[in-house]
Each structure stands twice: as structure tokens, then as C-alpha cells.
Structure 1
């Protein structure tokens, strides 16, 4: 039962079935029978875990297992103390209220790869970076959270899921590696 770490590039669909205009996981992974344990939308980049084991997939992705997911997020604007407190939640997004999460401002990551196409640049609008760790993972949740506090997301990269992180398992966009499931214990 392999556990695969994959660094999903920007604009790649987190599915194996063909897409009419975008690349999919099948363009990068030729491993029969695996599927993602959680997803990233096409506009997001970073760590995706894949497995051929349904029980392991459930253990990783189900909200009750509470595998924390850490994202670094480039936002339009500078986060005030109030915005950081609101992001830390709970935050009402209309259709659901987020669970409390960890959020902190960070310096722009010097190790980060360039994005193709690059993030839009507006000389009159500053940007900043945040690290956000959530235990849930609703559709486009982090993007919705930052927008709700007046900090639209420009770039979103998942850098960790549970014990698996791009810092300890370095892989570039489009690359993957197999790891031991014992790290989940």
C-alpha cells in the first residue's frame, strides 16, 4: 500500500480523469490504483497525498481524524492584528463556521519556486504572507477565510499534511515520492 507525496503544480486538476483544458494527476503519476486523500483546487499548489488504501485515505482526509494541513498564503494587503484574530476563528463564512486555527504572518518564503504564470503585481497594493494551519478542509476554505477578513488570496501553497511536509520531504512541483505510512502512527 503505497503512500505517495506529490507536489501539485498550479492549474493542475486534482483528479485522474481527463480534463478538457488542464493537466491532471495522470500527467504526472503513472501508478495504478492510487487516488488522492483530499484535494487541492486548480488554483492552489503544493502537497497532495495519494494512496491505494481506502482505509488510509479515510484516515488522512476525514475531518474526524484532524490531520492538520498547513498552507502558506500570499494575500493582497497587510494583515492587521484584528484580521489575524478573526482568521484564527471561529469565522462565519455564511454556509459554515470555521473551527479555530493557527495563523501567523511570515516573511516571503525565499525557498519558494516561481509560479507560471506569475502572481499579478500591483505597485499600489502591498502583499504579505501568512501561515495558516487548519484541521478541517472545506472547499476553498482558506481562500474564503482570507477574503472574509479583507485579504484576498493571491497564491496558496499547501506545505504540510499531518507529519508530511515539503520541508522534510522536499519535492518540486510535478515531482512525487513514496513514503512510509509509519509516520502517521
Structure 2
């Protein structure tokens, strides 16, 4: 039977179990999950937080990570500035990035989601407002959400992946994980 683990990956943690490239050790998944034989299904940048799925089943891993399956991923994104309806509509239609047009996304402004504090905290500037948006995409290009918000004029300050398909981060503290039926 396949194993599936939901992990709330903290900020500044690599989405892999070892860090052979760095002369000074960086935090990896092995600092949080001591389950042999599981591997990440997809990636989450070191400076992003949130849901990362780990499995020991290669087919399930491919179904989760491969953009051909178009599994929706939902992000809570704190952006610099306050996006207007035109910016949100541009995200919904798809935006032009240096590697081509993105697929249409679901995008809406949301209230502050009252997440755990980030360490280190997101920079705060009195003269520049910020707000949160929920962005759901069905592809997974490198740093795509950050590039999309920047393309419409609202750089990402904090990025938390909340949901992948039907799996959600709900109830998981940073660094915590739980096993669920695959």
C-alpha cells in the first residue's frame, strides 16, 4: 500500500532530504520527516512555505507532480501593494512570462489568513501597503506564482501553498506532518 505524507514545509527548508551542494548545512526534509523511502511529489522553493506531499509510490508521485495531470495547487500569497480588479483579471486570463503564457488561474483577494509567524518575518514598510490573494494554478513552472504576481505589478512577499488537489494544510503547524490514505 502506498504511503502519502502531508508536510507543512517551513520557510528556508530545501524540498529534498540532503544538501550536498552547500558547504554549510541547510535545513532539509530530513530535519522534519524520518520516514524511509518517501520522496517529494513536486517541489516548493526554499523561500516558500506550506504543503509538500511525500510518497513512496512513483505513479502517485508523477500524478501529483506532472503538469499533464493539471492537479490544482492553491497558494495564499502576500503581495506588495493592493491589486485592483484589472491585475486579478490578468492573472485569471494568464500572464506572459519569459517562458510563455501561463494557463488561466483562479485569483481573488482574501482577508489576512492569520497564519503562523514566519521566521524571519516578512519585511514591513509603513509607506507601502500589502494584501493577500488566493491564487490557484494547474501547472508548475519554476517560481511561477512569484513571477505571475510580479508580472502584474505586485511582487510576492510571502508564499504559502495551502492545497494540492483535495489535500490541504489545514491543522498542520510548520514542520509538522501527517500520513493520510493515498
TM range (shorter): over 0.9
**RMSD (Å), alpha carbons:** 0.9
Task: Quote the residue 1:89 is aligned against.
Answer: 93
| Post-superposition offset of 1:121 | 0.3
Task: Quote the residue 1:6 is aligned against.
Answer: 7
- CA distance in 2 between counterparts of 1:123 and 1:143 reads 22
User: Secondary structure in 2 aligned to 1:75?
Assistant: strand
Q: Deviations along 1:27-49, whole A, 9 cap, x unmatched?
A: 11111111100110001000000
Structure 1 ranges of 4+ moved more than 6 A: none
In the alignment, is residue 138 of structure 1 matched against residue 141 of structure 2?
yes
Task: Quote the residue 2:119 is aligned against.
Answer: 116
Task: Quote the residue 1:179 is aligned against.
Answer: 180
TM-score (norm 2): 0.95
Task: Quote the residue 2:36 is aligned against.
Answer: 32
| Post-superposition offset of 1:65 | 1.1
Give the alignment partner of residue 161 of structure 1, picking from 152, 159, 164: 164
Task: Quote the residue 1:50 is aligned against.
Answer: 54
- CA distance in 2 between counterparts of 1:107 and 1:38 reads 28
| Post-superposition offset of 1:17 | 1.2
- CA distance in 2 between counterparts of 1:142 and 1:177 reads 26
Stretch of structure 1 that moved more, 42-51 or 12-21: 12-21
Report how many residues are paired: 178
User: Secondary structure in 2 aligned to 1:15?
Assistant: coil
User: Secondary structure in 2 aligned to 1:117?
Assistant: coil
- CA distance in 2 between counterparts of 1:13 and 1:2 reads 21
| Post-superposition offset of 1:21 | 3.9
TM-score (norm 1): 0.94
Unaligned 5+ residue runs, structure 1?
Answer: none
Unaligned 5+ residue runs, structure 2?
Answer: none
- CA distance in 1 between counterparts of 2:78 and 2:173 reads 19
User: Secondary structure in 2 aligned to 1:86?
Assistant: helix
